[in-house]
Each structure stands twice: as C-alpha cells, then as structure tokens.
Amino acid sequence: MSIQWYPGHMAKTRKIIQENMKLVDIVIELVDARLPRSSRNPDIDALLGNKPRILVMNKCDIADPDLNESWAEWYASHNIAVVLVDSISGKGLNQIGPLSRELLKEKIERDRQKGIVNRAVKAMVVGIPNVGKSSFINKFSGRASAKTGDRPGVTRGKQWIRIRNGFELLDTPGILWPKFEDEEVGRKLAYTGAIKDEIINTEELACNLLVFLRDNYPDKLMERYKLDSVKEKEGFELLHAVGKKRGCIVSGGDVDTFRASAILLDEFRGAKIGRITLEKPE
Ligand SMILES: Nc1nc2c(ncn2[C@@H]2O[C@H](COP(=O)(O)OP(=O)(O)OP(=O)(O)O)[C@@H](O)[C@H]2O)c(=O)[nH]1
Ligand SMILES: [Mg+2]
C-alpha cells in the first residue's frame, strides 16, 4: 500500500500534540470501535507519558456489540480507562465527566487543599483522521458552547471551548497518524474510510473485505446481498455475486466489479451490512 506520511509532517504533528499536552489535565484518545487496535497511533503511549487518559471507543453504534464488550474489558485489563461512545446520539458521553474526576482525584484534592474548587478539567481530544474527533467535540460540548477566547499567558492564541459539565476542551483536536506501514492495518483502515479511496485499489480492497466477511460474518453477508452460500468462495467470486445482485452489469453482460466494489465499501461504511468489528483482542 503506497501511503506515506512525510516524516516532516509527522514530526510537526507530534510537536503540536506534545506542546498542547502540557496545557491539559487529561487526554481523550478516540479510536474507532470497529478497529480498536489499528485505529490507534502506535506511538501514543510514549507520546502521552503519564498524562491521565480516557480511551473513547467511538462509533460503538456501528461496531459489533459483543466485541465492544470484549475490547472494553481488554482495555480495562490493561489499566486504560475506556468508554464506549456514539458521538452522533451522544451515548456514553455522560460517563466521561465522572471518569475524568476519578482519574484526576489526586490533583483535585491538591487543588482543594489550596482552596481551589470546581476548576474546569482541561482536556484535549486526539485521534487519527475520520475517527470522529469533530463529531465528538461538537456533541460533548453541546451546540451552545462558547469559545472562551485566548488565555493570555497560558497559551499562544489557543482557543478553549468551555462546556457545561465542568470541562474546557481545546478546540482543535490533535491529529494522529495510524501505522500505515503494516499492510493489514492499512487495509482495515481503508475498509472504514479512514484512508482515501483514490490511493487504493478498491477492487482488491473489496475482495479482501468480502473474504473477511465470509469468514467472520457470513450470515450478515448472505442476508445483505441475498446470497445462498458464501462458504469456500473466493473474494472475486463473491464480488461478482454482489455485483450481479446489485445489477452492476456492463454491456455484453459482464459484471462491473468496480461499481460493485464501490457499493460494497459504501454499504460497509454505512453499517448497512450490519454492526461489524474488524479485529479481536489478543
Ligand atoms: N455511526 C457513527 N458515525 C460517527 C460517529 N462519530 C463520527 N461519525 C461519522 O464519522 C465521520 C467522520 O467524523 P468527523 O467528526 O468528521 O471525524 P474527524 O476525526 O473530525 O475527521 P478529520 O477532521 O478528517 O480528522 C462522519 O461521517 C461522522 O458523521 C459515531 O459515533 N457513530
Ligand atoms: Mg475533524
């Protein structure tokens, strides 16, 4: 997969995140619940150091409910505070306040001894492209959120969003990069739309996705495309079958596999095939 981030760009992003991190009490790391491992930045742990963190499994509404639970347990067992969130409906967002105060209880207690109470929790959101950072910030902050403006002496012109539940959010999220070098990771990211289609071979991608669905969610695949059987069928065969069912036929009667691929990927991304998670915890 020929996807490259320029090292200079990566270094710059890292520097921005590191600078912003000094200004916040807690980091809210968003991952895609359909890809709880591959949608994480591999250097995130080193980048965050000891900074308190909440891991938000976003888009939980379109991920496999059973695997949502398994992943949440997996993260909890690795001492990472985790919340399942749907940033469209807002589900799960109400857990973030109490969880943050729990994680920050020592700091809150130190503040209290100094006579400071009810100080807003300063947070920043980080995550890879398309994971839902903007949606999360909008929903979490509420429509009527007000920018608190520049804070002289604290930041160089950074904007904070003060929100009703005792938080101040940095209004620009930290954009992290996923681990593109690993072909399997790249493919999974592409299934979800986190990588632009123009730079990938969509037919190859669709075939790979069909093989994954055949092996992991055969019933959903059969149901969606009214297929009698998917067992032992190769990816391209499945793509043909999907194309046929969807009337992707070119003159001469051949299946337009390019169009079929676009349909499949589109329907996968829109969760029309069902709630699917692309990886399991170890
Ligand atoms: N079903 C579902 N869709 C979501 C959720 N959160 C975000 N989305 C969708 O995911 C897509 C990307 O969301 P954004 O909020 O733009 O993501 P982002 O991380 O800000 O993306 P960049 O700014 O490109 O880095 C949009 O189509 C959102 O509607 C969620 O919790 N559930
Ligand atoms: Mg955004």
Query: 34-65, pLDDT tens digit by residue?
Result: 999 999 988 888 888 899 999 999 999 999 99
Ligand 1 touching residue 59 (CB < 6 A): yes
| 17: pLDDT strictly greater than 80 | yes
Ligand nearest to the backbone CA of 126: 1
Nearest CA to ligand 1 atom 8: 132
The answer on pLDDT for 248 being more than 60 is: yes
- What pLDDT sits at residue 171? 77
Distance in angstroms (rounded) separating the CA atoms of residues 71 and 282: 10
In this predicted structure, the answer to whether residue 96 has a pLDDT above a threshold of 70 is: yes
CA of 224 to the centre of ligand 2 (A): 31
Ligand 1 pocket, residue 269 CB under 6 Å: no
Can you spell out the DSSP letters for 199-232?
Answer: GS-HHHHHHHHHHHHHHH-HHHHHHHHT-S--TT
pLDDT computed for residue 176 by the predictor: 84
Mutation test residue for ligand 1: of 40, 56, 59, 135, the one with most atoms within 8 Å of CB:
135
- Taking only the tens place, the pLDDT of each residue in 125-179 is 999 988 999 899 989 988 544 444 444 334 445 678 877 778 998 877 888 888 7
Is the model's pLDDT at 68 over the cut of 90?
A: yes
CA 156 to ligand 2 centroid distance, Å: 21
Give the mean pLDDT of the chain: 89
Any atom of ligand 1 within 6 Å of the Cβ of 175: yes
Return the minimum-mean-pLDDT range out of 198-212, 231-245, 251-265: 198-212
Proportion of the chain above pLDDT 70, given as a percent: 91
For ligand 1, what atom is nearest to the CA of residue 86?
A: 31
Torsion of CA 39, 45, 47, 52, to 10 degrees: 110
From atom 17 of ligand 1, which residue's Cα is the shortest distance away?
132
Q: Which residue has the higher pLDDT, 12 or 72?
A: 72
**CATH 3.40.50.300 domain locations along the chain:** 7-175
Protein residue with least CA distance to atom 2, ligand 1? 59
> Which of 153, 160, 136 has the alpha carbon at shortest distance from 85?
136
Higher pLDDT: 201 or 195? It is 201
The domain defined by 201-269 folds into Conserved Hypothetical Protein Ylqf; Chain: A; domain 2 (1.10.1580)
| pLDDT exceeds 90 at position 97 | yes
- Domain spanning 7-175: which superfamily? P-loop containing nucleotide triphosphate hydrolases (3.40.50.300)
Distance 133 CA to ligand 2 centre (A): 5
User: Would you state the pLDDT for residue 16?
Assistant: 85
What is the C-alpha to C-alpha distance for residues 41 and 48, in angstroms, rounded to an integer? 11
Q: If residue 108 lies in a helix (H) or strand (E), which one and from where to where?
A: helix 105-113
Instruction: Give the number of whichever ligand sits closest to the CA of residue 133.
Output: 1
Q: What's the 87 CA to ligand 2 centre distance in angstroms?
A: 13
Report which DSSP code applies to 99.
Answer: H
CA 31 to CA 29: how far, in whole Å?
7
Please tell me the residue having the least CA distance from ligand 1 atom 10.
Answer: 132
Indicate which residue's Cα is closest to atom 25 of ligand 1: 129
Alpha carbon distance, N-terminus to C-terminus of the chain: 25
Identify whether the C-beta of residue 257 lies closer than 8 Å to the C-beta of residue 239. Answer: yes
Q: Which ligand is nearest to the CA of 136?
A: 1
Q: H or E segment at 198?
A: none
Question: pLDDT value at position 174?
Answer: 84
pTM of the entire structure? Answer: 0.91
Which part of the chain has CATH 1.10.1580.10? Answer: 201-269
Task: Write down the pLDDT at residue 150.
Answer: 40
Residue 159, pLDDT score: 77
Q: Which ligand is nearest to the CA of 91?
A: 1
